[in-house]
Structures are given as C-alpha cells and as structure tokens.
Homo-oligomer: A and B are copies of this chain.
Amino acid sequence: MQIIDGKKIADEIKAEIKEEVSRMLEKGQRAPHLAAILVGHDGGSETYVANKVKSCEQAGFQSTLIRYEDDVTGEELLQRVHQLNNDASIDGFIVQLPLPKHIDEQKIIEAISPDKDVDGFHPANVGRMAIGLPCFVSATPAGIIELLRRYRIDTRGKHCVVLGRSNIVGKPVSLLMAQKATPGDATVTICHSRTANIADITRQADIIIAALGQPEFLTADMVKEGVVVIDVGTTRVPSAETKSGWKLKGDVKFDEVAPKSSYITPVPGGVGPMTIVSLLRNTLQAAKTTVKS
C-alpha cells in the first residue's frame, strides 16, 4: 500500500511553475496575472481566496484581489467581469463561489470569457473538455488526473468507479477517465444516490474515485484487494482532538480501506492540495497563450 502524497506532488508542481515563471521573466515577458473577485465575508470563501492569492505569490504570479460587499448588484459584477475580460494585463480570473442569493451565479459564470475562465466552470470549457478539445479543466478533476499521472497509475482498460455525479467532480472526472488519453482509457461507472447495490459495483473497481460528500461511506467490505482509491470528500465533522473543534473527513474509511489498497489518498493531504495547483497551471497556460498572441 502506498499513500498518494498530494501535498508533496503539489509542492513539486508549484516549484516547476515557479521555474517556468522565472524563464518567462528572463525572456522579458511579464509574470502570469490572476485576478479573484470575492463578494462578502464568508469565512470559507475568505480562506480559499487568501490561499489562492498566497499560492500565486509563491509561484511568482501577479495577483489582484477585487472585493465587493454582500449588497453588490448582479449588474455591477457583470460589468466588472466584462472589464476583466477586456483587460489585457489579466490572464485569467475567478469569481469565488457561492455568491449571495440575489445574484444569478450561472449568468456571472457564463459572462466570463472562456479564454480567461481558469476555474473551468464556463459551459464552453465543460463542453470542450467533454469533446476532448484543449480547454481549462476545473481544479478538482484536473488535480485527480495529475495525481494518477505523477504516480504512474495504470488506468488503461481498468474499471474506474466514480461515486457522485456533481458538476464539479463526478461528471467531469468520469469524462476524463473514459477519454482516449493517459491517464484515461478506463471503463467508467458513475454511481450516485439512486444506484442500487452500490457495493456490488465498487467491489469490481480497479480504481475508485469517491466524491459523494458522505464521511467514511466507503468501507473495507466494499473494495477488492489492490484497489486504487482517490478520496475527494472533505466534510467537516466535530472533533474533540482539534483546537478548531472540527476536522476534515473523507468519503473513505481510511484505516480499514488503506490496508486493502495499492494506492490511496489521505484526507487531508491528498486531492485537496492539488486543487490550487490546478488553478495555477490553468493561469500559467492562459498567460502563455496571451503572451504568445
């Protein structure tokens, strides 16, 4: 059994990106520039955006944080999005979700130019990914694929069972795992809340990607020996062991599933650290296109 160390891989990739940024600067090009729009003062969103900004700085990117209060109108946000679309000094930008309820989130997402949509949430990017065209893949599925690649896990012709059909993980990672690519080329089964006899299916899996958001859902009796397990779950559960009073739990009962696995991601320290790296990679890619054109 080998632990897939997402933290280590993420650090390696950050170093590679930093290296590439240095080379861009040496050539007289400017550094990649990511902008983030943050609305309101939700604790989770504040933390996520702060981490993104910090990671940008570590990688040598320029970053711009644009803040709005909760009472911003959809129209104001749309105008700002259009402005960022047309600002040649910004390579990519994100709008931190969720937005306040009075704002049509989907309308904001679709206003972002697909060429600057480094979160990969615009339907045109989702569609391009589905068709197998160059695109920005969203952070979590891209991070999962990169972990499989870096650990050289054989996926071709394997049976990959995806637990969950969310737009941000289950559906896109299913498409990526099924497509003719490496990693990829797997036989993929998508399971969800309506799936009957789910254990009969997971027991057939060579690879399980668990993204249901149900803490410790996947137990030892549900997997076969040698399975590869990617745990995307990050549910906060109350804990007396931590200062904060909670800790993160994955969708996998790690202690009992790990001994049967060939590879397994821990929570935290597995898929999580890869998501910010995916955002940096997308922004770098956007910058290279901008700089080139």
Q: With CB as the reference atom, state the residue of chain B lying closest to A175.
A: B171
Q: With CB as the reference atom, state the residue of chain B lying closest to A121.
A: B131
List A residues 143-182 near B (Cβ within 8 Å). 156-159, 165, 167, 171-172, 174-175, 178-180
Give the docked Cα–Cα distance between A142 and B288 (Å).
Answer: 39
Hey, which chain B residues are within 8 Å of A125, CB to CB? 123, 127
Give the docked Cα–Cα distance between A122 and B131 (Å).
Answer: 10
Hey, which chain B residues are within 8 Å of A195, CB to CB? 157, 187
**A188 x B187 contact (CB < 8 A):** no
Chain B: minimal CB distance from A85 (Å): 16
Give the docked Cα–Cα distance between A196 and B188 (Å).
Answer: 12
List A residues 197-225 near B (Cβ within 8 Å). 201
A102 at the B interface (CB under 8 A) = no
Contact A167-B132, Cβ < 8 Å, known A187-B192, A201-B187 = yes
Interface residues of A, count at CB 8 A:
39
Hey, which chain B residues are within 8 Å of A186, CB to CB? 194
A56 at the B interface (CB under 8 A) = no
Choice from B131, B188, B191, B201 contacting A190 with Cβ under 8 Å: B188
List A residues 58-97 near B (Cβ within 8 Å). none
Give the docked Cα–Cα distance between A122 and B186 (Å).
Answer: 26
**A192 x B178 contact (CB < 8 A):** yes
A244 at the B interface (CB under 8 A) = no
**B187 x A189 contact (CB < 8 A):** yes
**B185 x A188 contact (CB < 8 A):** no
A286 at the B interface (CB under 8 A) = no
Can you add 4 more A-B contacts, CB < 8 Å, to A123-B133, A130-B171, A158-B196? Answer: A126-B127, A156-B194, A157-B195, A187-B189
11 CB contacts below 8 A, A to B, read A126-B127, A126-B131, A127-B127, A131-B167, A165-B178, A174-B174, A175-B175, A186-B194, A187-B189, A187-B201, A188-B189
